[in-house]
Chain A
Amino acid sequence: MENITHHLFKADQKHLDQINESILFGASELARDHSIESIQIEDVVIRSQVSRSTIHKLFITVDGLYKRLAQRLTNEMAENCLHNLPEIPDIAIRVATKTKMALLIADKLPFLSRLALKEEWPSANPDHLIYRDIEKDIEEGIKLGCFSNMPPSIGANIIIGSLRGAFEEILQKKQPKEYSNQVVYQILISLGVSQETACQISETSAPAIPPLPAEGLVSKVVSLEGLETKANFTQG
Chain B
Amino acid sequence: MHLNHRTRVAAQRREEMHLHLLVSGLLLASIKPIHEIEIEDVIKHAQVSRGSFYNYFQSLQALYDELARKLMQELFSEIEILAPRHSDTVERLASTIRLLIRLLVKYPVLGSFITKIQWPNRNQNSGLFQAITQDISLGIEEGKFTNVPVSIGANIAIGSIIGGVHTMLIEGSIQGFEDKITNQVLIGLGIDTQSASICSQLPLPEYGSLPGTGILGKLADRAAHETESAGLPWKT
Task: Point out residues on A near B: beta carbons under 8 Å.
Answer: 37, 60-61, 63-64, 66-67, 118, 120-123, 148, 150-151, 153-158, 160-162, 164-166, 168-169, 172, 179, 182-183, 185-187, 189-192, 195
Give Cα A179 to B149, complex, Å: 8
Scan B141-173; emit 1 where CB is below 8 A from any A CB, else 0.
Answer: 000001011011111101110111011000000
Chain A residue nearest in CB terms to B120: A168
Determine whether the beta carbon of B159 is less than 8 Å from that of A186: no
Dominant secondary structure at the B interface: helix
Give the distance in Å from the alpha carbon of A120 to the alpha carbon of B115 in the complex. 9
Closest residue of chain B to A118, judged by CB? B118
CA distance A160 to B37 in the complex (A): 26
A190 near B184: Cβ-Cβ < 8 Å: yes
Nearest first, the 8 closest Cβ-Cβ pairs linking A and B are A161-B159, A165-B155, A190-B188, A157-B163, A63-B35, A122-B166, A64-B35, A168-B120
Q: What number of A-B contacts does a CB cutoff of 8 Å give?
A: 127
With A63-B35, A158-B156, A165-B151 known to touch, is A189 a contact of B115 (CB < 8 Å)? no
Given A154-B181, A168-B120, CB of A182 within 8 Å of CB of B149: yes
Q: Which of B34, B151, B163, B167 has the most CB of A within 10 A?
A: B163
- Measured between beta carbons, the chain B residues less than 8 angstroms from A182 are 148-149, 152
Measured CB to CB, the closest approach of chain A to B16, in angstroms, equals 28
* A166-B155, A182-B148, A189-B190 known; A161+B35 contact, CB < 8 A: no
| B184 in contact with A165 (CB, 8 Å) | no
Q: In the complex, A74 Cα to B33 Cα: how many Å? A: 19
Query: B: which residues have CB within 8 A of A?
Result: 33-38, 60-61, 115-116, 118-120, 122, 146, 148-149, 151-156, 158-160, 162-164, 166-167, 174, 177, 180-181, 183-185, 187-190
Cβ–Cβ contact A190 & B120, under 8 A = no
User: A189–B145 Cα gap in the complex (Å)?
Assistant: 12
Q: Are B180 and A162 in contact (CB under 8 A)?
A: no
Whether A158 pairs with B159 at a CB distance below 8 angstroms is yes
Q: Closest B-chain residue to A186, C-beta based?
A: B152
Closest residue of chain B to A148 (Cβ to Cβ) is B184
Contact of A61 among B38, B115, B116, B159 (CB under 8 A): B38
Q: Is A186's CB under 8 angstroms from B156's CB?
A: yes
Give the distance in Å from the alpha carbon of A156 to the alpha carbon of B185 in the complex: 12
Contact check, A164 vs B156: say whether CB atoms are below 8 A apart: no
Could you list 8 further interchain pairs (A-B, Cβ under 8 angstroms) beyond the known A122-B163, A186-B153? A61-B60, A67-B35, A151-B174, A154-B164, A154-B167, A164-B120, A165-B158, A189-B188
Contact of A186 among B120, B177, B188 (CB under 8 A): B188
Name the A residues within 8 Å of B36 (CB-CB). 60-61, 64
- Tell me whether A63 and B34 are in contact (CB under 8 A): yes
